[in-house]
Structure 1
Amino acid sequence: MAEHAVSAEVEGVSVDLRHWIGGERVSSESTFADISPIDETELAQVHSAGAEEVDRAVAAARAAFPAWAALPVAERSAILRRVADGVEARVEDLSRVETRDNGSLIRSHRRGVMPRVAMNFRFFADYAEQLAHPDLEVRGHRERVTYDPAGVVAVITPWNAPLMLATWRIGPALAAGNTVILKPPEWAPLTASLLADITAEAGVPPGVFNVVQGTGIGAGAPLTAHPGLNRLAFTGSVPTAGVIAAAAAPNIVPLSFELGGKSPLVVFDDADLDLAVDLAVEQFDNAGQVCLKAARMLVQSSIVEEFTRRVVEGAARLRQGDPRDEETDVSALITRRHFEQISGFVERAIADGARPLLGGGPHDELGGLFFRPTVLVDAKPGSEILTEEVFGPVVTIESFETEEEAVVKANDTRFGLAATLVTGDPERAERVSAALEAGTVWVNCFFVRDLGAPFGGNGRSGIGREGGVWSFDFYTDIKNTVFAPSGWSS
Structure 2
Amino acid sequence: MDKQLYMNGEMVRGEGNVRRILNPSSESTVATVYEASVKQVEMAIQAARDAFNDSSWKEDIEERTNFLLRIADTLAERREEFAVLETENTGKPIREARLDVEDSVNCLRYYAKLVKDQQIEETDQWDGSTSRIKNVPYGVTALIVPWNFPLLLGIWKIAPALAAGNTIVFKPSELTPLTMIKLAELMKKCALPDGVFNLVIGDGQTVGQTLVTSEEVDKISFTGGTKTGRTINEQCARTFKRVSLELGGKSPLIVWDDANIDQAVEWTIFGAFFNQGEVCVASSRILVHENMYKPFIKKLIDKTKKIQLGNPLKEETEMGPLISKEHLEKIESFIQLGKEEGATLEVGGERIGQKGFYLTPIIFTDVTLEMAIVQEEIFGPFCVIQSFSSEEEAIKLANGTKFGLAAGILSKDLARCERLADRIQAGTIWINSYHTPFVNAPWGGFKQSGIGRELGPQGLAAYSEPKHINLTPKLDKLGWYRF
Deviation at 1:293, TM superposition (A): 0.5
Q: TM-score, normalised by structure 1?
A: 0.93
- 1:117 pairs with 104, 107, 114, which one? 104
In structure 2, C-alpha distance between the alignment counterparts of 1:474 and 1:218, rounded to whole Å: 26
In structure 2, C-alpha distance between the alignment counterparts of 1:244 and 1:417, rounded to whole Å: 19
| Cα contact 1:147–1:472 (8 A) shared by 2 | no
| Cα contact 1:321–1:366 (8 A) shared by 2 | no
> Which deviates more, 159-168 or 142-151?
142-151
Structure 2: which amino acid aligns with 1:428?
R
Structure 1 residue matching 2:216: 3-state secondary structure: coil
- 2:155 pairs with 164, 167, 173, which one? 167
Structure 1: which amino acid aligns with 2:122?
D
Deviation at 1:137, TM superposition (A): 3.7
Does 2:189 correspond to 1:186? no
Q: Which residue of 1 aligns with 2:289?
A: 300
Structure 1: which amino acid aligns with 2:68?
L
| Cα contact 2:282–2:435 (8 A) shared by 1 | no
Q: Which residue of 2 aligns with 1:108?
A: 96
Deviation at 1:97, TM superposition (A): 1.1
Question: Using a 3 Å threshold, how does the CA distance of structure 1 residues 487 and 29 change in structure 2: closer, same or farther?
Answer: closer
| Cα contact 2:6–2:12 (8 A) shared by 1 | yes
Structure 2 residue matching 1:29: 3-state secondary structure: coil
> Which deviates more, 67-76 or 313-322?
67-76
Structure 1 residue matching 2:26: 3-state secondary structure: coil
Q: TM-score, normalised by structure 2?
A: 0.94
Gaps of 5+ in 1: 1-6, 8-15
Does 2:14 correspond to 1:28? yes
In structure 2, C-alpha distance between the alignment counterparts of 1:433 and 1:133, rounded to whole Å: 34
Q: Which residue of 1 aligns with 2:51?
A: 64
Structure 1: which amino acid aligns with 2:280?
C
Q: 1:298-339, CA deviations, whole angstroms, 9 ceiling, x for partnerless residues?
A: 011001112111111221111001111111111111111111
- 1:397 pairs with 380, 385, 400, which one? 385
- 1:41 pairs with 24, 28, 32, which one? 28
Does 2:49 correspond to 1:51? no
Q: Which residue of 2 aligns with 1:454?
A: 442
Structure 2: which amino acid aligns with 1:290?
V
Does 2:458 correspond to 1:470? yes
Q: Which residue of 1 aligns with 2:224?
A: 236
Structure 1 residue matching 2:367: 3-state secondary structure: coil
| Cα contact 2:135–2:464 (8 A) shared by 1 | yes
In structure 2, C-alpha distance between the alignment counterparts of 1:298 and 1:379, rounded to whole Å: 11
Q: 1:134-180, CA deviations, whole angstroms, 9 ceiling, x for partnerless residues?
A: 42344244321101121011100000000100110100000111111
Q: Which residue of 1 aligns with 2:253?
A: 265
Q: CA RMSD in A?
A: 1.6
Q: Which residue of 1 aligns with 2:334?
A: 345
Q: Which residue of 1 aligns with 2:275?
A: 286
> Which deviates more, 67-76 or 255-264?
67-76
Structure 2: which amino acid aligns with 1:21?
M
| Cα contact 1:62–1:152 (8 A) shared by 2 | yes
Q: 1:80-129, CA deviations, whole angstroms, 9 ceiling, x for partnerless residues?
A: 1000011111111111111111111111112x110111112111111000
Deviating runs (4+, > 3 A) in structure 1?
68-71, 364-368, 486-489
How many residue pairs match? The answer is 472
> Which deviates more, 434-443 or 58-67?
58-67
Question: Using a 3 Å threshold, how does the CA distance of structure 1 residues 104 and 92 change in structure 2: closer, same or farther?
Answer: same
Structure 1: which amino acid aligns with 2:131?
E
| Cα contact 1:353–1:380 (8 A) shared by 2 | no
Question: Using a 3 Å threshold, how does the CA distance of structure 1 residues 40 and 236 change in structure 2: closer, same or farther?
Answer: same
Structure 1 residue matching 2:394: 3-state secondary structure: helix
Deviation at 1:394, TM superposition (A): 0.7
Structure 1 residue matching 2:57: 3-state secondary structure: helix
Structure 1: which amino acid aligns with 2:446?
N
In structure 2, C-alpha distance between the alignment counterparts of 1:362 and 1:252, rounded to whole Å: 47
Q: 1:198-249, CA deviations, whole angstroms, 9 ceiling, x for partnerless residues?
A: 1111111111111001111121111111111111101001111122223323
Q: Which residue of 1 aligns with 2:238?
A: 250
Q: Which residue of 1 aligns with 2:312?
A: 323
Deviation at 1:71, TM superposition (A): 4.3
Structure 2 residue matching 1:43: 3-state secondary structure: strand
Deviation at 1:366, TM superposition (A): 5.1
In structure 1, C-alpha distance between the alignment counterparts of 2:89 and 2:174, rounded to whole Å: 10
Q: Which residue of 1 aligns with 2:138?
A: 150
In structure 1, C-alpha distance between the alignment counterparts of 2:341 and 2:299, rounded to whole Å: 25
Structure 1: which amino acid aligns with 2:13?
S
Structure 1: which amino acid aligns with 2:309?
Q
Gaps of 5+ in 2: 477-483
Structure 2 residue matching 1:399: 3-state secondary structure: strand
Structure 2: which amino acid aligns with 1:39?
S
Deviation at 1:43, TM superposition (A): 2.2
Structure 1: which amino acid aligns with 2:427?
G
Q: 1:255-304, CA deviations, whole angstroms, 9 ceiling, x for partnerless residues?
A: 11101100000011122323321210102111110111010000110011
Q: Which residue of 2 aligns with 1:313?
A: 302
Structure 2 residue matching 1:18: 3-state secondary structure: strand
Structure 2: which amino acid aligns with 1:218?
T
| Cα contact 2:3–2:12 (8 A) shared by 1 | no
In structure 2, C-alpha distance between the alignment counterparts of 1:21 and 1:421, rounded to whole Å: 46
Q: 1:387-437, CA deviations, whole angstroms, 9 ceiling, x for partnerless residues?
A: 000100011111001111000100001000000011111210111110100
> Which deviates more, 290-299 or 274-283?
274-283
In structure 2, C-alpha distance between the alignment counterparts of 1:28 and 1:17, rounded to whole Å: 7
In structure 2, C-alpha distance between the alignment counterparts of 1:214 and 1:135, rounded to whole Å: 45
In structure 2, C-alpha distance between the alignment counterparts of 1:28 and 1:160, rounded to whole Å: 23
Does 2:4 correspond to 1:18? yes
Question: Using a 3 Å threshold, how does the CA distance of structure 1 residues 26 and 367 change in structure 2: closer, same or farther?
Answer: closer
Question: Using a 3 Å threshold, how does the CA distance of structure 1 residues 94 and 398 change in structure 2: closer, same or farther?
Answer: same
Q: Which residue of 1 aligns with 2:468?
A: 480
